Structure 1
Amino acid sequence: MLSVNDTGSGGQPSLESYFGESVAATLLGKVNETKDRKESMSKIQARVQQTVLNDGYEEIKKMIACLEENCFLPNKPVPYRKGGLAAIGAVAVGLSSEHISYFLPDIMHLVIGTDTEQGPFSNDCGEYRIRYLACESLFNIAKVANHELLPYIPTIFDGISRLFADVNTEVRHAAMVLDKLLRDIVTSAAAHGKDQLSKFPAETFVQQLGQRMKFKNPNIRQLCLGWTTLILGINGMEAVRYTPIFINEVFDMLADADDRRDSRHNADSLLDLLLTQVKESPPEQAMQIVFHTLGALAANCEKEDKCIRLCALCWLYEYVYLTPGFTPPGKEEDMDEDMKRMRNLLLGWRKMWGEELPQLLPGIFKCITDKENEVSLMAVDLNNSLLDLAHRLGDSLPVQALVAKLSELLVAQGKRPEGEGPMVVHIACLQWICLLLSDSPAAMLRKETLKELFMPIFESLLHPNDEVVITALRVLAQIMEAKPVEEELCIEDLLPEEECTTAGSASASSSTGSGGSRSDLFTVIVHRLLREFSTHQEMLESRGRLMIRQVCGYLDPQRLYVTVARAIQQEKDRAFAQKLVQTFSWILLTAVETRGLREELLRESEQHPQLLRLAGQPTSEEAKADLPRPLFLELLEPWFHNPTSALALCLWAQQYELASELTGRFASFEPTLDFLQQLDQLVRLLESPIFSRLRLQLLEPRRHPALLKCLLGLAMLLPQAGAFQILRERMHLVQSSLLMEVRNDGEAVPAPSKSGGWWSGGSTNLPDAQADFASLVAAFDRLSKTE
């Protein structure tokens, strides 16, 4: 049997002394009739109203304290707590809006406490009626307090958000009714201007929103989305600036299951609203939001859900186009305040992107390989936009961080199975390296940076996709053309130890043209490329011509060919050297990229004294002055490793005497299938448009007897198959040309000289030419022998 004393346990007046016996009995759970409870609440309201009219503020304070002591202490039974919640709501109604502000802290302390996890909103508080009555009491308080309740809304929201997941339907409904009233209060405060709205602790509330959004319960998520949409729509609150607090949680809602479509749809709509408001924000605020959300967006690009990835890419894409240009106007001392503000803003954007770019690339590259075509295409577009943005950043690029990330990604791509996705990512990485080499050469060409990139780039040459190989060659060409920061950069700085000795000696012998550092770096890469061909000779056979043509297109072909020729001279593997010469020779004589090189060989053959003497043509004394060694002689001796290629080079350079001499030595070679196939290819090459000049010279056989003898010699070496038939038809035309010459001048064709070698011509009649001729033939005999 409950007893009601005149004083409480703490010496305070009892409930009976304040509200009467019947009301006290109701509050303490002795009376359960609904009618009696309503009458008791009305009596409490009337008592409070009368006390307020009599200015009994302190008396009301004591009433509230009495309720706390008798009904709200943790050790009180459940009926007491239920009665206390109903009573405090009645007290608030009795106070009315004019007087409640003075008592509101004490009232709210009783209803929501200091920790909602332990208060009446907690599932641990006992039966569900306590949670229901807490909502009812707060509803009554809110109706009276109105805008005065704004400072307490974050704490109230923390409590009712728990009730949105309550197992009891009545409790959930009560929480929803209270939530609607709270939203109306916030909206009303916004309509009354900033003075009222300033009472609302927006940042604290948004922090609560962010915490509650992490809950998976769909009701809680809908509650959070509704509130977020509400505060974003309030003018003057500028809630968009709080986007970094909850953006991750909103993105996570896009992955909700199909049975939560409303949550997913509302999250998508909220993100659209957020992005629109970010784009419409003042420039300084937009920059801060972008800066603090880039990391979250980068992480969302790697999430499993397609919608999250696609939405994150769209946000990043909009961020790129939100970024202003990067040319600060004029000098700072010449600017007014507005111009200085603009300049500082631009510098802020540059700094922000410079810090964040490296962490964006992994997520974007992962999306490039996405199985969802929509995601993949969006990622490719975003990557292209970022490349353009990085180009505008200029010296603000974080080169070292980007290089470390790109090198890591290249190595990772090399370990992935073949496919279109890895191929596109590989190309994207190489494109970024190209950009860095172009825009930040000083930082990129340091020894540490080159060493980090060197091997991943060369490993890219082994990729099965041609586009990857072409892009890797473009990167190498940019490095080869550049001048490294360290003037003393050595081969050992870039190559593994086992490759340093050979490349180092070659570098010393091939240092031509401009400064030594450039030549060294150029030679290092050429030798490393040749080493790749040696190690992976199937690559030389399958795509060697493609690779060499690309390099010739990016670089000076003459410098490349001279460097390669000198490397071939030092090559110990003669079989590999023969393949190299055959490949480079074919490119030299057929490719568009080497047209200038062919023209240079022709120009030398007609102007260089050393080549004129070798061809048996007279030269002036002045022409014997020291001149650079002709390109033909730079190539010829290395080309002797492949006799057919050497013969083709002689024919192109109009060294017909030497060509006929080499042809005569072909008779001593074993007629292997490979050798005969090369001769066949040579004959067909001579019939191509490239060699039309040579064929026209056959119309004057007396001026070019050595050419005629060379071609006749080839015909004698070839089996009577397709190539032989081609040559025979050509020789029939030559006979007609010879008859025409005889008819024109009445002279017979002079007999060839018997001095010198096989079918020797006029070149051997000059002493200097005889020595050159003999040394070249000796070199041919030495290098053309197979081991």
Structure 2
Amino acid sequence: MASDQDLYPLNQNLLRLLTEKIYEKRKTAASEVERMMKEFVTTNNTAMIQKLIKVLAQDLTLSDNGHYRKGGLIGLAAASIALGKHIRIYLPQIIKPVIACFNDADSRIRYFACEALYNVVKVARETSMPYFPEIFDVLSKLCADSDTNTKNGAELLDRLVKDVVIESRTLDLEIFVPLLRERIYAKNPFVKQFLVSWISVLDSAPEVNILDYLPEILDGLFTILSDPRLEIRKACESLLGEFLHGIVTSPQNVDYAAMINILIAHAQSQDELVQFTAILWIKQFIKLSGERMLPFASGILIAVLPCLSFESDSRKNVRENAKQVNQELVRLIPREMEDTPEKCDDILTLDLHGIVDVLIVNLKHDAVPTRLACLRWVYSLFDLVPRRTFKSIDKLFPALLVAIQDTSDEVILATLEVFAELSSVCDQLQVMYKSSENQPEISYFRRFIGELLRIFKGDRSMLEERGHFMIRQLCLLLSAQDIYEVIAEILLEEADPKFASIMVQALSSILLTASELFELRNLLKDFSTAATHKLFEKLYRCWANNSVAAVALCLLTQRYQHACAILEVFADIDVTVEHLSEIDKLIQLIESPVFTYLRMQLLDPAVNGYLVKALYGLLMLLPQSEAFGILQRRLDCIPWQKHSEETANVGIPKNSSRVSSGSKIDIDFEELLNYFRKRQYLLQTELRKARRASNLLSSL
């Protein structure tokens, strides 16, 4: 036991009272210590002040004896009150022993430490700020203390320290923020609440600009936001809302780049609130910082593209904000300057390769809205930055070919629009690249048409179900003449005559019925220019793969004499049910508005004798069916009685070539007829082989 000499200016009696369990006795002892210290302060007896603090702090508070530690803490609290403003001189000797007691295993000592530190900070206030990191560290542990009294005492201390911080002008965030960052990933819910409350206090402090340090704690705050406890989520959501408001109010000094990747990561969270909040922040960042977000575009797309497919009402806000982010991001991309192609790589800091990779991945997304958004992005890139986007064409092209086979008509239409834009871009870049030895040949339009035909060949059901729709849309987006010419050129090299015949049948049907091909039909019907003659010849050689389609082309172009010649070849062709079905459809078309001009020409059989003969030829091919009756009734309407007996009987005038005056037809129809015979012979041979193989397989 220490002697009175060792305890001076305390004594054994005062020590006993300081360590009593009874509150009144401890209060009496504390009053005595306070009286003594006031006396020393009044007389300016610094030696005795130092001596009393040393005894209370070193000999008692840091003692191995638990009772002494309690007494020392009580005494230091009283001494601090007595010191008043003079405490700043002695604060290091007082506060450090008190803080050391917060690690004590005895909950009573931790509680007394709370009381002591409360009194020290209450007196010292601003002077205690250099010790704020140590105080904060203590508080962050006490908020989750297992002892209720200690936790309550810590809450009182916490409120006091917050008041002091708000008033403070000397808080050093450079020291404090690392400690905050370390604690912010704590698992304990009380610690999470404590941290959120403290960050909120710092945000409200007029002399503290916590926004400067937001990048260091933002990830932790979003982690806290995902806590399952409602009160923690609400508090954190409110705090993040305040921060975002501060950013919107003063956007000029915000380090967007340091935070955007954090937001991108949390925008992919499975937690609805976290995801919504992160996307909301990203939207504001794009609005506030503009093109500075372009280097992060690929990451932003990774986060927002899947969100476009959310259908539930609970995720409606996420979907709508993601949609806005997607739209705003596209608007940030500046258009390439056409007159400075050599500088196109320096126009903007856009991670185009990264964006393309993200789009390719999401083109396979399960949801249609996401796939559509990806295709709109590809379209925009070809439109806005064609030179740079073209460098990624070898990656994009296969992905677009997959998209063209999508189950959604919307996706197919969007893909066709992309290919149409790609075709336009290729035309623009042809001049730029043709002189460069290192650049690939730009023939993606023809390549696309070839791949489309390959897809149709491999999947006949797609040709039947979507082929007409796709070709019509292509003709609407691009030149129908160009499309038909390219298809004809490719089909001329087709090794499978059966597929070529099926494809020509589809193309002929579209040509004769679709409104999108109105101009091409009129061009062929007019047949008045050398260019039209070349087009006819090119189409004819392809159409020769299908005998009925070839007749229809001749009727459309008013080459009635050649139509008659083709029909004569039918005598040598194995006319199948498929042929009869196609002839039936042609008869229906002859009765449609497309062939109104043809029907009107029947009023003058003397001039249009080959037309009459061609129609009779079709009639002779048909069995007596409904189509036979329709055509027969039409032919019965020809006004034979208005013409001479010779004309009526023969019906074939000497001059039946319907070509505008002054135009010359430089077409070798005899050569075309021979070509038609060869193609039909080849087709018939292949069909017989296929039937023999089928019969053999059946017999086996």
Q: Which amino acid aligns with 1:294?
A: I
- Give the Cα–Cα distance (whole angstroms) in 2 for the partners of residues 372 and 56 of structure 1: 76
Which amino acid letter does the alignment assign opposite residue 34 of structure 1? Answer: Y
Check the 8 A contact 2:143/2:190 in 1, yes or no: yes
> After alignment, is 650-659 or 44-53 more displaced?
44-53
Give the superposition deviation at 1:684: 1.2
Structural mapping, 1:26-175, within 5 Å: 29=19, 31-57=20-46, 59-73=48-62, 76-96=64-84, 98-112=85-99, 119-122=100-103, 125-175=104-154
Matched with 1:614 is none
Given that residues 358 and 401 in structure 1 are in contact (C-alpha distance below 8 angstroms), is that contact kept between their aligned partners in structure 2? yes
Q: Taking structure 1 as reference, are residues 677 and 697 closer, same or farther at Cα in structure 2, changes over 3 Å only?
A: same
1:487 aligns with 2:487: no
Partners of 2:45 and 2:538 lie apart in 1 by 113
**Alignment match, 1:265:** 234
Is 1:234 aligned to residue 205 of structure 2? yes
Q: Distance in 2 between matches of 1:713 and 1:550?
A: 35
Q: 1:686 to 1:425 in 2, by over 3 A?
A: same
Residues of 1 paired with 2:324 and 2:241: CA distance? 23
Q: Conserved in 2, the CA contact under 8 Å of 1:368 and 1:376? A: no
Q: Is the 8 A contact 2:564 2:617 kept in 1?
A: yes
**Rounded Cα–Cα distance in structure 2 between residues aligned with 1:450 and 1:61:** 81
Deviates more, 1:699-708 or 1:665-674: 665-674
Mark the CA change 1:535 to 1:319 in structure 2 (over 3 Å): closer, same or farther: same
Matched residue, 2:558 = 654
Q: Is the 8 A contact 1:662 1:777 kept in 2?
A: yes
Distance (Å, rounded) in 1 between the aligned partners of 2:548 and 2:560: 14
Q: Whole-Å Cα distance in 1 between the matches of residues 94 and 206 of structure 2?
A: 31
- CA deviation digits over 1:17-71, x for unaligned, max 9? 23223334456x5x44433322332232223222223334455345444444324
Which of 607, 611, 625 is residue 529 of structure 2 equivalent to? 607
The secondary structure found in structure 1 opposite 2:650 is: coil
Residue 505 of structure 1: aligned partner:
none
- CA shift in 2, pair 1:134/1:673, >3 Å: farther
Alpha-carbon distance in 2 for matches of 1:428, 1:377? 18
- For 1:243 and 1:67, the matched residues in 2 are separated by 42
AA in 2 matched with 1:38: K
- Structure 1 segments unaligned to the other structure (5+ residues): 7-13, 113-118, 190-196, 324-348, 417-421, 494-516, 609-626
Please tell me whether the aligned partners of residues 294 and 332 of structure 2 are also in contact (alpha carbons under 8 angstroms). no
Which residue is equivalent to 1:686?
A: 590
* Equivalent residues of 2:211, 2:243 under 8 A apart: yes
Distance in 2 of aligned mates of 1:184 and 1:749: 114
Q: Map 1:717-732; keep pairs closer than 5 Å.
A: 717-732=621-636
Q: Deviations over 1:72-122 (max 9, x none)?
A: 54x7233333233223222211210x211222233222222xxxxxx4334
Q: In the alignment, does 2:353 pair up with 1:400?
A: yes
Match of 2:192 in 1: 221
Aligned mates of 1:381, 1:223 — CA distance in 2: 31
Taking the aligned partners of 1:160 and 1:377, their CA distance within structure 2 comes to 38
Q: What displacement does 1:385 show?
A: 4.2
Asked if 2 retains the 8 angstrom alpha-carbon contact of 1:391 and 1:435, the reply is no
**Contact 1:369–1:376 (CA under 8 A) maintained in structure 2:** no
1:548 aligned counterpart, secondary structure: helix
Counterparts in 2 of 1:750 and 1:631: CA distance versus 1, 3 Å = same
Residue of structure 2 equivalent to 1:334: none
**Residue by residue, what CA displacement relative to the aligned partner does 1:520-573 show, whole Å, maximum 9, x if unpaired?**
232222222222222223222221111112222222222221111111010101
Aligned in 2, Cα 1:594/1:778: closer, same or farther, shift over 3 Å? same
Equivalence for 2:413? 470
Task: Report the counterpart of residue 638 of structure 1 in structure 2.
Answer: 542
Displacement of 1:253: 3.8
> Any idea what the Cα deviations from partners look like across 1:485-540, whole Å, max 9, x if unmatched?
643799996xxxxxxxxxxxxxxxxxxxxxxx44x232222222222222223222
Q: Amino acid of the residue matched to residue 191 of structure 2?
A: I
Contact 2:606 2:651 in 1 (8 A): no
Distance in 1 (alpha carbons) for counterparts of 2:463 and 2:577: 20
Hey, what's the Cα distance between the residues in 1 that align with 2:519 and 2:30? 104
**1:598 maps to 2:508:** no
TM-score (norm 1): 0.78
> CA–CA distance in 1 between the matches of 2:418 and 2:620?
48
Rounded Cα–Cα distance in structure 2 between residues aligned with 1:272 and 1:538: 54
Do the aligned residues in 2 keep the contact of 1:313 with 1:379 (CA within 8 Å)? no
Q: CA deviation at 1:783?
A: 1.1
Deviation sequence 1:725-779 (CA, Å, 0-9, x none):
2212211222xx332345xxx9744736799xxxx9669xxxx989812111111
**Root mean square deviation, CA, Å:** 2.9
- The letter of the residue matching 1:442 is R
Check the 8 A contact 1:70/1:76 in 2, yes or no.
no
Contact 1:306 1:372 in 2 (8 A): no
The one-letter amino acid of 1:278's match is I
Distance 1:105 1:739 in 2: 129
Distance between the aligned counterparts of 1:249 and 1:769, measured in 2? 81
Work out whether residues 360 and 399 of structure 2, in 8 Å CA contact, stay in contact via their aligned partners in 1. Answer: yes
Cα 1:433–1:770 shift into 2, 3 Å: closer
Partner residue of 1:435 out of 380, 391, 412: 380
* TM-score, scaled relative to structure 2: 0.87
User: Residue 9 of structure 2 aligns to a residue in which SS?
Assistant: helix
- Per the alignment, residue 367 of structure 1 pairs with 307
CA–CA distance in structure 2, aligned partners of residues 120 and 303 of structure 1: 42
Closer, same or farther: CA 373–721 of 1 in aligned 2, 3 Å: farther
CA distance in 2, matches of 1:46, 1:488: 99
Compute the displacement of 1:686 (Å).
1.8
Cα-to-partner distance string for 1:385-407 (whole Å, 9 max, x where unaligned): 43343333314232122112222
CA contact (8 A) 2:143 2:154 kept: yes
Separation in 1 of the partners of 2:321 and 2:436?
A: 38
Evaluate the alpha carbon distance shift between residue 774 and residue 705 of structure 1 in structure 2; reply closer, same or farther with a 3 A threshold.
same
Which residue matches 1:315?
Answer: 281
In structure 2, distance between residues paired with 1:681 and 1:310: 57
CA offset digits 1:257-306 (Å, max 9, x no partner): 3xx3222222222233222222111x3124x2x33332222122221212
1:530 aligns with 2:521: no
Q: How does 1:533-552 map to 2 (within 5 A)?
A: 533-552=456-475
Query: Conserved in 1, the CA contact under 8 Å of 2:446 and 2:486?
Result: yes
Q: Does 1:444 align with 2:389?
A: yes
Q: Residues 33 and 75 of structure 2 are in contact (CA less than 8 Å); yes or no, is this contact kept in structure 1?
A: yes
Secondary structure of the residue that 1:18 maps to in structure 2? coil
Amino acid at match of 1:571: E
- Alpha-carbon distance in structure 2 between the residues aligned to 1:770 and 1:356: 61
Q: How far off is 1:452 after superposition? A: 1.4
User: Per-residue displacement from partner, 1:638-694 (whole Å, max 9, x unpaired)?
Assistant: 111111221111111111111121122223333322222211111112222122122
Query: Match for 1:557 among 480, 490, 495?
Result: 480
Change (3 A) 1:93 1:203: same
Q: State percent identity of aligned pairs.
A: 29
Match status 1:293 vs 2:282: no
Contact conserved, 1:568 with 1:577, CA < 8 A, in 2? yes
CA contact under 8 A between 2:57 and 2:94: conserved in structure 1? Answer: no
Distance 1:71 1:644, change over 3 A: farther
**What is the DSSP-based 3-state SS (H/G/I as helix, E as strand, rest coil) of the residue aligned with 1:462?**
coil
* 8 Å Cα contact 2:309/2:370 also seen in 1: yes
Structure 2 residue identity aligned to 1:531: R
2:342 is aligned to none
Aligned to 1:624: none
Alpha-carbon distance between aligned partners in 2 of 1:182 and 1:450, rounded to the nearest angstrom: 62
Structure 2 unaligned segments of length 5 or more: list them.
Answer: 335-346, 659-663, 687-700
2:549, 2:191 → 1: CA distance? 79
